[in-house]
Amino acid sequence: IDRAIVEFEGDFFIKRFFVTDSHGNKIEDLENLERIKRALAEAIGGDGDGTVSVVKSTANRGIVVRRAGLVEGFGERKAKAERMFSLMDGFLKNDPFSLQKDILHHVEYTVARSRFNFDDYEAYQEGDAALGNGGLARFSACQMDSLATLDYPAWGYGLRYEYGLFRQIIVDGFQHEQPDYWLNFGNPWEIERIHVTYEVKFYGTVEDVDRNGEKHEVWIPGETVEAVAYDNPIPGYGTRNTINLRLWAAKPSNHFDLEAYNTGDYINSIVNRQRTESISNVLYPDDRSHQGKEMRLKQQYFFVSASLQDIIRRFKEAHNNFDELPEKVALHLNDTHPSLSIAEIMRILVDEEQLDWNKAWNIVCKIFSFTTHTVVAEGLEKIPTDLLGSLLPRHLQILYKINSNFMEELKKRIGLDYNRLSRMSIVEEGAVKSIRMANLSIICSHTVNGVSKLHSDTLKMRTFKDFYELWPEKFQYTTNGVTQRRWIVVSNPSLCALLSKWLGTEAWIRNADLLTGLRDHVDNTGFRHEWKMVKRLNKMRLAEYIETMSGVKVSLDAMFDVQVKRIHEYKRQLLNIFGIIHRYDCLKNMDKNDRTKVVPRVCIIGGKAAPGYEIAKKIIKLCHAVAEKINNDADIGDLLKLVFIPDYNVSVAEMVIPGADLSQHLSTAGHEASGTGSMKFLMNGCLLLATADGSTVEIIEEIGSDNLFLFGAKVQEVAELREKGGALKVPLQFARVLRMVRDGYFGDKDYFKSLCDTVEVGNDFYLLGSDFGSYLEAQAAADKAFVEPEKWTKMSILSAAGSGRFSSDRTIREYAERTWKIDPCQCPF
Ligand code: CR6
């Protein structure tokens, strides 16, 4: 079978489908068709009926069959149906009250009667809530899913940005950013809590007040903003436990500036009020650099202040002694972005609740734990004291006091080692005096986590060595994970059905360790056949998307080779592009006979560049320039295609990841703290081509080095290679590819010059040149494995079988048991 085609009845119901052979001829032979239908349906867990009745059936099967590809059709009709179905997916998945039939009838009826064109609905289709930049935020979303599913009593806090991460559009190969005003047509999943509001204050001065004969500092703020809670319930899977993600929106305070109104400056005072609303307006799109901008600091404090007021209010409803706080409340700092909460909670306890400083500090140090998601010291967040002092004068004082106490204690422990004291200080003296948010977080937290074993080792040996030597017991690692509920159950229903069938249970959805059971079937040819079918169906879905997005037709027999993630120099998308240029160059210089032995490839790259990150934007442009050349070279045909998938986001990932044969994770060793994309690909039976960086090291422990393609310098070798600088040996192929780009083989010679300079010998910080040889070897090994489908399939199965450890359920359980010391708390009814 080459393709299954679907015919629709009305706008989105499947009337019947038929299959075609590899020449595109419809298979008319009914008996044969029935047989194929049954085989196909069995393979993917359906019931063999590919008609409308399957889609309408009340069992979970219906949707599985539809998504699995029995109804994977082509053309406009199908696209419309897909859109409609994706709207309904949430209902159809679990359907505890058999709503499915009713909903389908209702939709059918409504759409049929409506005078609207189906396309009109598209504008209203729900998109991603893109409230974060990349791995850090997506990891938080996975953690929330696991917390709910494992019955932990936990809340998440964040900001309700009105503009999420920008939408990437590509014009002429260049990235352009478009605003993502995602709330325009409402957000049905949130609950506005108009009664849960807090005042958040900014600016002003600190004044001395007399309290029982003692002098105390008190903050007299200058500006007040209202924080309004919006709750986003997160239901657990297979449990009634539902937790809350509380997001704050800024609204102008109802405290009117009487002065302004009385002086008649009505218009200006309204304009000022509107300015305050802008705090929660927009997400900063840089995922790893911090620029010390005032609005960003305002956002952080707004978030922290509202969340802490909420937490303390709830605590006080049931308790009246702050000594109990550490027993009842654990606060986790997810990176340093919320670390102002340390100063804020000290301010609340000391200034407002009038606790003695030392007593408050002892309580606070038992509450916080901290995870850092950054590798290099330069990546750590710092806030200029000038900025902090003007926006939050009392907090700056508190931070200075925390620091001077810490310095005193430290001197007692390590003596007058001024270099070390200054390295460990919360305050960085220098051209711009600033507060080191990571040092603050470490000092106040009882536990400091890295996000993979390798990352944690780096933290202990390099980034936070001084702190590790002082408090070795604080340092732990909790390897990141991703939720199989989203990354298999939702995004790959056909694999989901296959797993349940062969594992004989759906229990893996709540216990990913059970996936190891797949190892028992790896030698079963029937199982492997079904596994291949599932991959093929997902490749069909992806191929169709690629064609719609880019107009490029791709062959399903080619290896789908994917690199999707934020664009960064350290992630080395450029290494991938250079590899593709090399492949193209080889093909062009190859004997026609030899070409028949070449494994056809579809190279897929996607990702956003931070708007101000010039080099990353040039990488995107180069990708398009190379794609243009290759894809239009008739001589190359299906042997090589390159597509850039625009606007990479969670929805796109849900389609791309299941359809990938190979995925690339190319960060220079020691630069990716963990990486979570690789885990999603692994779960979906996609082979990895990767460096020994971040969590890949642990993936190798689980699946064995035979089941992935490893390459590149190890973390211990990186420093030495860098020292060699200009004397580094770089393969000839690398020099040749670089020359092709420099010479304008892909056009825009001048534009690409500065990009080429970043990888020139002596300047090649991320070591593309020195890793290129071993990268090409790993690519050749992947080609070699791909021509042996049985071997490849086994590797694919063993990848998924070893992915259980990378479930965020494991991550969360470790945090709960070791860091937060909390027990599951089942919903009693
Ligand atoms: N950019 C790390 O770089 C890690 C995630 C989640 C990152 C990445 O390796 O997987 O966090 N770091 O831990 C930050 O965002 C600071 C990321 O997503």
Whether 304 and 438 map to the same domain: the answer is yes
Q: Are 348 and 364 in contact (CB under 8 A)?
A: no
Closest C-alpha residue for ligand 1 atom 15: 136
Q: How far is the centre of ligand 1, averaged over its atoms, from the C-alpha of 673 (Å)?
A: 6
Whether 85 and 142 map to the same domain: the answer is no
Which helix (H) or strand (E) segment is 585 a member of? helix 573-588
ipTM of this complex:
0.98
Closest C-alpha residue for ligand 1 atom 18: 135
Residues within 6 Å of ligand 1 by CB: 134-136, 139, 287-288, 335, 373-374, 451, 480, 672-676, 694
pLDDT (0 to 100) of residue 604 = 98
Identity at 525, one-letter amino acid code: T
For the record, the structure tokens of 646 come out as: 């625009």
Residue 495, domain member (yes or no)? no
Closest C-alpha residue for ligand 1 atom 1: 135
CA-to-CA distance for 544 and 549, rounded, in angstroms?
9
Residue 492, domain member (yes or no)? no
Residue 336, domain member (yes or no)? yes
Looking from the CA of residue 451, the nearest atom of ligand 1 is 13
Whether 750 and 632 map to the same domain: the answer is yes
Phi, psi (rounded to 5 degrees) for 82:
-55, -45
Which residue of 131, 133, 136 sits with most ligand 1 atoms within 8 Å of its CB, as the best mutation to test the pocket?
A: 136
Whether 580 and 650 map to the same domain: the answer is yes
- pLDDT band of residue 58 (cuts 50, 70, 90) is very low
For the record, the structure tokens of 588 come out as: 């062009």
Q: What is the mean pLDDT of the chain?
A: 88
- pLDDT band of residue 422 (cuts 50, 70, 90) is very high
Pairing of strands 167-171, 205-211: unpaired
Whether 232 and 349 map to the same domain: the answer is yes
Which residue of 451, 455, 571, 812 sits with most ligand 1 atoms within 8 Å of its CB, as the best mutation to test the pocket?
A: 451
Whether 551 and 409 map to the same domain: the answer is no
- Of 124, 154, 176, the one marking the end of a domain is 124
Residue tagged 């490893």 (tokens): 710
Whether 444 and 539 map to the same domain: the answer is no
Residue 811, domain member (yes or no)? no
The pTM (predicted TM-score) of the whole model is: 0.87
Domain holding 43, by residue range, is 3-124
166: left (phi over 0), alpha (psi -120 to 50) or beta: beta
- Of 92, 124, 156, the one marking the end of a domain is 124
Whether 389 and 519 map to the same domain: the answer is no
pLDDT (0 to 100) of residue 684 = 98
For the record, the structure tokens of 486 come out as: 């989203």
Q: How far is the centre of ligand 1, averaged over its atoms, from the C-alpha of 286 (Å)?
A: 12
Whether 728 and 688 map to the same domain: the answer is yes
For the record, the structure tokens of 182 come out as: 């995602």
Asked if residue 408 has pLDDT above 70, the reply is yes
Residue tagged 């009038």 (tokens): 354
Q: How far is the centre of ligand 1, averaged over its atoms, from the C-alpha of 420 (Å)?
A: 28
Residue 493, domain member (yes or no)? no
Angle at 807 between CA 706 and CA 802, to 5 degrees: 20
Residue 751, domain member (yes or no)? yes
Whether 445 and 547 map to the same domain: the answer is no
600-615 b/e (C-beta count within 10 Å ≥ 16 → b): bbbbbbbbbbbbebee
Residue 484, domain member (yes or no)? no
pLDDT (0 to 100) of residue 115 = 56
The predicted-structure confidence for 771-809, as pLDDT tens digits, reads as follows 999 999 999 999 999 999 999 999 999 999 999 999 999
CA-to-CA distance for 145 and 812, rounded, in angstroms?
10
Q: How many domains does the chain have?
A: 3
Helix/strand/coil for 644: strand
Whether 103 and 170 map to the same domain: the answer is no
Q: How far is the centre of ligand 1, averaged over its atoms, from the C-alpha of 282 (Å)?
A: 20
Q: How far is the centre of ligand 1, averaged over its atoms, from the C-alpha of 654 (Å)?
A: 19
The predicted-structure confidence for 551-606, as pLDDT tens digits, reads as follows 999 999 999 999 999 999 999 999 999 999 999 999 999 999 999 999 999 999 99
Asked if residue 31 has pLDDT above 70, the reply is no
Q: Are 785 and 779 in contact (CB under 8 A)?
A: no
Question: Alpha carbon of 600 to those of 639, 690, 796: distances in Å?
Answer: 4, 20, 19
CA-to-CA distance for 451 and 682, rounded, in angstroms?
18
Q: How far is the centre of ligand 1, averaged over its atoms, from the C-alpha of 287 (Å)?
A: 8
Q: How far is the centre of ligand 1, averaged over its atoms, from the C-alpha of 230 (Å)?
A: 26
Closest C-alpha residue for ligand 1 atom 14: 373
Residue 268 sits in a domain of what CATH number?
Answer: 3.40.50.2000
Which residue of 165, 564, 674, 715 sits with most ligand 1 atoms within 8 Å of its CB, as the best mutation to test the pocket?
A: 674
pLDDT (0 to 100) of residue 261 = 62
Asked if residue 349 has pLDDT above 50, the reply is yes
Task: From 676, 674, 601, select the one nearest 631 (Cα to Cα).
Answer: 601
Looking from the CA of residue 134, the nearest atom of ligand 1 is 18
Closest C-alpha residue for ligand 1 atom 11: 136
Angle at 164 between CA 159 and CA 169, to 5 degrees: 170
Question: Alpha carbon of 716 to those of 381, 461, 638, 713, 777: distances in Å?
Answer: 26, 12, 40, 8, 21
Asked if residue 110 has pLDDT above 70, the reply is no
pLDDT (0 to 100) of residue 825 = 94
Phi, psi (rounded to 5 degrees) for 211:
-125, 115
CA-to-CA distance for 203 and 349, rounded, in angstroms?
20
Neighbours of 221 (CB within 10 A): 16
Which residues, in sequence order, are bridge partners of residue 83? none
Residue 722, domain member (yes or no)? yes
List, by residue number, the catalytic residues.
Answer: 373, 565-566, 571, 676, 680
Looking from the CA of residue 375, the nearest atom of ligand 1 is 3
Helix/strand number for the chain, H first, E second: 33, 23
Whether 469 and 514 map to the same domain: the answer is no
What sign results for the dihedral spanned by CA atoms 678, 681, 683, 687?
A: negative
